[in-house]
Amino acid sequence: MEVVKSYQPVGYIVGNVETQRFRFVTEPSICPPRLEYLVVRDVPATEQGMDKVDVLAQVSELRVATQVLGEELTFEEAKAILEGLSPRPKIIGTADVLGYLTKDKSVRLPRHTPLPGQPVFLASDEFLKKFFSENIEYGITIGTLINREGVEVKLNPNGLRRHLAIIAQTGAGKSYLAGLLLEQLLKLGATILVFDPNSDYVMMRLTKDMRKTSFADWVRVYRVPLKGERRYSDEKIGGSRKYTIRFWTLDEEDIFEIAQIHESWTRIRESLSKLLSFVKKRSTYFTPKELKETLDEFLKGESAGELDELEEGIGEEFLEAITQDMQMKSKDRKNTKMPLSFEDIRRIKPYVERIASLEIWGEEDLPIEEIIAPQTLSVVDLAGLQQRAMEVVVDRTLRGIWEKAVTGQLPRPLFIFLEEAHNFVPGRGKPSRCADIINRIAAEGRKFKVFLVVITQRPYKINQDTLSQCGSQIIMKLTNPEDQKAVRTASENISESLLADLPGLNTGEAVILGGLTRVPVMIRVGERESAEGGADVDLIKELQLASQEKIQARIGLAEKDEQFKEMNFGV
């Protein structure tokens, strides 16, 4: 739409006027589109030293009214009236009042209403720039107004002090937006930690054309060793650092979580606990491999002599199990407290093998000191790990950081981005090893310079206490009613009209609420410098490649057939 000069009215206020809403009449040739920004001039103010102010409003609804072309007309009647050049229909618009700028550049709602008959004008780009970006020190440039590409929107970094939630359904562009936010924060000097379950942020050091980004030297990617191929190889992402967990430092609950042993499986837990105690007697720095080897020894009955040397009766229990196993097999031991038997050992064998099969074990823990270094982005690539193992990694890392934070050893603010947050801090009573520490940071982190950015496509599945602690939200397209309900419950700033707009947002468009902006604002996300790791697959391109591969395979087979004929038949 061509922007009408600000001194030309695009409508006049009509009907009953409220302090937060008014209606205006306009016509098709000058009608502002929905979501366009308007200005009402010279509204009485209560701000000291400001007699009258220019009030910003946004078009929230448009409807066409006509007294000539009523619904009761037939087609022929309507055609006859139109051919007689009947008056053009009138358009009634509704605008929501956003407020006015005070002398200190804060935004307040007026306590007086404009009067019926007052003209309304399109807000100029200059006015909007002042309203959304002026005097925002160290602002985060995130994009432009949704219908004004020339007006940048800068977010106030202080809005992150009470945490941020980035919410969108799959494919709406939340990972792209999060990557842009990471870039902007890093350029401002931030220290950032990202937990990345899907390798969405491992490409942050490279541009789309595979050149180094301007901040590449500030980015570190940590990866757990894996046997299989990754979504993006180390070579493609510019290398990575090794991250492992020292098995002997885990407590039993961590091990139970990784082995996926439910808390109600008490006999299996007791048996594994006794096995762990036995191995600890042998070696302080034991590994899952040693755990499995010890289990195999028990199954062969080769450790009976060594068991006698153990303290606290553990050895006697194992020895008794070995000598009495055959007699006990036929008995019902469901409700009887029995010593550890071969049957118990066989029962825990698959869980021990599951633990030993993971490649996360080693002698290099995630270096906390590196993570909290100034102007550093640390991406922990969790892709390929079981969910329980991911939870243990997040839990251990956050607890190490939190210990430093609460003891005054965190020298600078740390921003923690948690992708797929609904899997790490779920609601509805679902268990998660790392939920407690995440909730604690959500509740108390701002006191100790630790700030959360939770990213999710299923807000109704995330712990609502965590979500409600996020004082700012960036919300993209959202069509699921349960997700919308969760957003409405968690956010004090979202209106019903904004909530109704969420399903109609296009990819890359978002609503920003809370302390990040002076007023709720709808934006079009800007361009980022780095390549996107979480981009959707181009199915057309992939299908074309598959078709070409099939053609090449057919050509190859035909050539082989010809060669075979020549060799055997002399054709």
pLDDT number for residue 304: 45
Starting at the edge strand found earlier in the chain, the sheet holding 140-145 runs 148-155, 140-145, 521-525, 509-513, 472-475, 164-167, 450-456, 414-418, 191-196, 377-381, 219-223, 241-242
Please tell me the distance from the alpha carbon of residue 422 to that of residue 420, in angstroms, as a whole number.
6
Beta strand residue intervals within 2-145, DSSP E: 9-14, 21-26, 37-44, 52-65, 90-101, 107-108, 119-122, 140-145
Which pLDDT tens digit goes with each residue over 143-200?
A: 999 888 889 999 999 999 999 999 999 989 999 999 999 999 999 999 999 999 999 9
How sure is the predictor about 367, in pLDDT bands with cuts at 50, 70 and 90? Answer: confident
Predicted confidence (pLDDT) at residue 253 exceeds the cutoff of 50: yes
> What pLDDT does 138 receive?
78
How much is the pLDDT for 278?
84
The answer on pLDDT for 326 being more than 50 is: no
pLDDT recorded at residue 165:
96
Mean pLDDT, the chain, as a whole number?
83
Please check whether residue 222 is in contact with residue 201, taking contact to mean a CB–CB distance below 8 angstroms: no
Residues 6+ apart with CB under 8 A from 460: 427, 480, 482, 483, 485, 486
From CA 434, how far away is CA 450, in angstroms rounded? 16
Across the range 55-76, mean pLDDT stands at 80
Residue 313, pLDDT > 50, answer no
Please provide residue 283's backbone torsions phi and psi, each rounded to the nearest 5 degrees.
-150, 130
pLDDT tier at 333 (50, 70, 90 boundaries)?
Answer: very low
pLDDT band, very low/low/confident/very high, at 323 (cuts 50, 70, 90): very low
The pLDDT of residue 302 is 44
170 within 8 A of 162, measured Cβ to Cβ: no
Residues 6+ apart with CB under 8 A from 158: 515
Nearest to 98 by CA among 524, 517, 525, 508: 517
Higher pLDDT, 81 or 103: 103
Residue 137, both tokens: 């020190």
User: What's the rounded Cα separation, in Å, for the pair 548 and 526?
Assistant: 35
The average pLDDT across 120-137 equals: 86
Around Cβ 339, how many Cβ atoms within 10 Å? 18
- Residue 549, judged by CB atoms within 10 A of its CB (0-12, 13-18, 19+), counts as exposed
Distant-in-sequence, close-in-space partners of 561: CB < 8 Å, separation ≥ 6: none
Higher pLDDT, 212 or 27: 212
Q: How far apart are CA 373 and CA 378, in angstroms?
A: 10
What is the reported pLDDT for 476?
94
Confidence at residue 554, expressed as pLDDT on a 0 to 100 scale = 67
Average pLDDT estimate for 66-88: 69
Query: Does residue 455 surpass a pLDDT of 80?
Result: yes
Task: Please give the Cα distance from 513 to 467 (Å, whole number).
Answer: 14
Task: Please indicate whether residue 213 or residue 6 has the higher confidence score (pLDDT).
Answer: 213
Higher pLDDT, 431 or 422: 422
Residue-level pLDDT at 67: 67
Percentage above 70 pLDDT, the chain: 81
Question: What distance in Å separates the CA atoms of residue 295 and residue 73, rounded to the nearest whole number?
Answer: 87
pLDDT at residue 98 tops 60: yes
The whole-angstrom separation of Cα 564 and Cα 479 is 60
Beta strands in 298-448 (DSSP E): 377-381, 414-418
Q: Measured over all CA atoms, what is the biggest interatomic distance in the chain, rounded to whole angstroms?
A: 110
Overall average pLDDT of the 514-537 stretch = 85
Average pLDDT rounded to a whole number, residues 1-23: 78
pLDDT band at 335 (very low <50, low <70, confident <90, very high): very low
Report residue 95's pLDDT band, with 50, 70 and 90 as the boundaries: very high
The domain spans of the chain are: 9-123, 153-225+369-525, 248-357, 537-571
In this prediction, residue 198 carries a pLDDT of 93
Query: What was the pLDDT predicted at 125?
Result: 92
Q: Which helix (H) or strand (E) holds 482?
A: helix 481-490
- Give the residue-averaged pLDDT of 116-138: 87
Least confident span in 110-119, 139-148, 194-203, 361-370: 361-370
User: How far is the C-alpha of 394 from the C-alpha of 399, rounded, in Å?
Assistant: 8
pLDDT tier at 227, thresholds 50, 70, 90: confident
- Segments of 27-68 assigned E as strands: 37-44, 52-65
Rounded distance between C-alpha atoms, residue 219 and residue 190, angstroms:
12
Q: Residue 438: what residue type?
A: I
Q: pLDDT tier at 340 (50, 70, 90 boundaries)?
A: low
Would you mind telling me the total number of residues written for the chain in this entry?
A: 571
Q: Report residue 331's pLDDT band, with 50, 70 and 90 as the boundaries.
A: very low
pLDDT at 71 over 80: no
* Percent above pLDDT 90 for the chain: 45
CATH code for the structural domain at 153-225+369-525: 3.40.50.300
Winning range, highest mean pLDDT, from 84-98, 306-320, 517-531: 517-531
Q: 520, 571, 528: which is closest to 131 by C-alpha? A: 520
Interval 283-300: pLDDT, tens: 888 889 888 888 888 777
Whether the CB-CB separation of 238 and 460 falls below 8 Å is answered with no
Q: For 388-414, how does the pLDDT look when each residue is reduced to its tens digit (9 = 90+)?
A: 889 989 998 999 999 999 999 999 999
- Rounded Cα distance between 377 and 36, Å, is 37
Quickly state the pLDDT bin for 360 (edges 50, 70, 90). confident
Give the model's pLDDT for residue 259. Answer: 87
418: nearest Cα among 447, 386, 441: 441
pLDDT for res 87: 62
In eight-state DSSP terms, residue 515 is T
